Each structure stands twice: as structure tokens, then as C-alpha cells.
Amino acid sequence: MKTVLTYGTFDLFHIGHLNILKRLKAQGDRLIVGVSTDDFNAIKGKRPIVPFDQRIEIVRSIRFVDEAIPEESWEQKREDIRKYNVDVFGIGEDWKGKFDDLEDEVEVIYLPRTTGVSTTEMKRVLSEFDERHVESLKNTLDTLSQIVKELS
């Protein structure tokens, strides 16, 4: 069995996220996805809109994903490669070259991004809303998360 591992924040889940997970699943038999915790994102200087427990539940609900785990540190990648007997580490090409040091343990692949969609761009647009609108959006995302849970 060939195991593929990836990591991401998966905030404001969109078609680009789905595409990369689908392409990574095609690289092997089993796909494990590390979802960055809110605390780890803070270390990276990121502030997700969707809370960790909802983001990991969304990722777990994707049919291409066999297992979703919390990502809590940079060092965790090597530990997880060994723990889950990983064959391929894959991630978006925006990280190209950043994980080449893992090649002593696994095959490292960088996949192209989906054009025309970006969490960063979505957040930029959202930042133009005032706090009331942002709170309303968060409530809508909470509702959508509940629907995803009920459907899975």
C-alpha cells in the first residue's frame, strides 16, 4: 500500500483545496492530511477564519481523504512520515523547494495550484467587510459546517 501525506490549513475550503486532495489521492492508495491547528497557525503568522475543529471535520468528510490528523509543529512532518509509513509527501507548488530535505525519507512532490482561486485572495475580499459582516459570515460557515457533519 502506497501512503501519501500532505498538510495545510484548509481555511475557507474551496475548489483548489479539493483539487489538490484529489490529485494527491491519485498518487497512492491512502491519503493522510495534516490540518494545521489554530495554535500552529498563530506560530506561522496566520489567523484562520474557520476554527480548527471545523476545518479538520470538513477535511475528514472529503472522500479522497483516508485520515485527517492535527498538525501542531514543523518538526511533526518527519515524525508522521515514520509513524504512518509514508511513501510520498505532496504539497502545493507554492511551497516548492521548502520540503526537499524530506527526500532522504520519502518522495517529495509539488503540485500546481488551481488557477483563479486562493484563500489569501478570499480573505483579502473578506477584509473589506466590517466586523458585523464578518461575524455574519462566520455564523454562515458554522451553519455550513453543521450541514457537512449531518451529510457525512
The verdict on pTM exceeding 0.75 is yes
Active-site annotation holder among 2, 44, 83, 96? 44
Share of the chain above pLDDT 90, in %: 65
Structural domain total, the chain: 1
Domain that holds residue 28: 3-151
The reply to whether 2 belongs to the active site is: no
CA 59 to chain centre: 7
Active-site annotation holder among 2, 22, 46, 83? 46
Burial (CB count within 10 angstroms: exposed 0-12, middle 13-18, buried 19+), residue 10: buried
| 22-60 residue pLDDT tens | 999 999 999 999 999 999 999 999 889 899 999 999 999
What confidence tier does 142 reach under pLDDT thresholds 50, 70, 90?
confident
3 state SS of 117: coil
**Whether the predicted pLDDT of 92 surpasses 60:** yes
Question: Is-contact 69 34, C-beta < 8 A?
Answer: yes
The reply to whether 138 belongs to the active site is: no
Which residue's entry shows cell 483548489?
Answer: 16
Per DSSP, the residues of 63-77 read TT-SEEEEE--STHH
**Whether the predicted pLDDT of 123 surpasses 60:** no
Amino acid identity at 67: E
The reported pLDDT for the residue numbered 68 is 98
The reported pLDDT for the residue numbered 119 is 62
Mean pLDDT of the chain: 89
The reported pLDDT for the residue numbered 120 is 62
The reported pLDDT for the residue numbered 7 is 97
The domain spanning residue 53 has which CATH number? 3.40.50.620
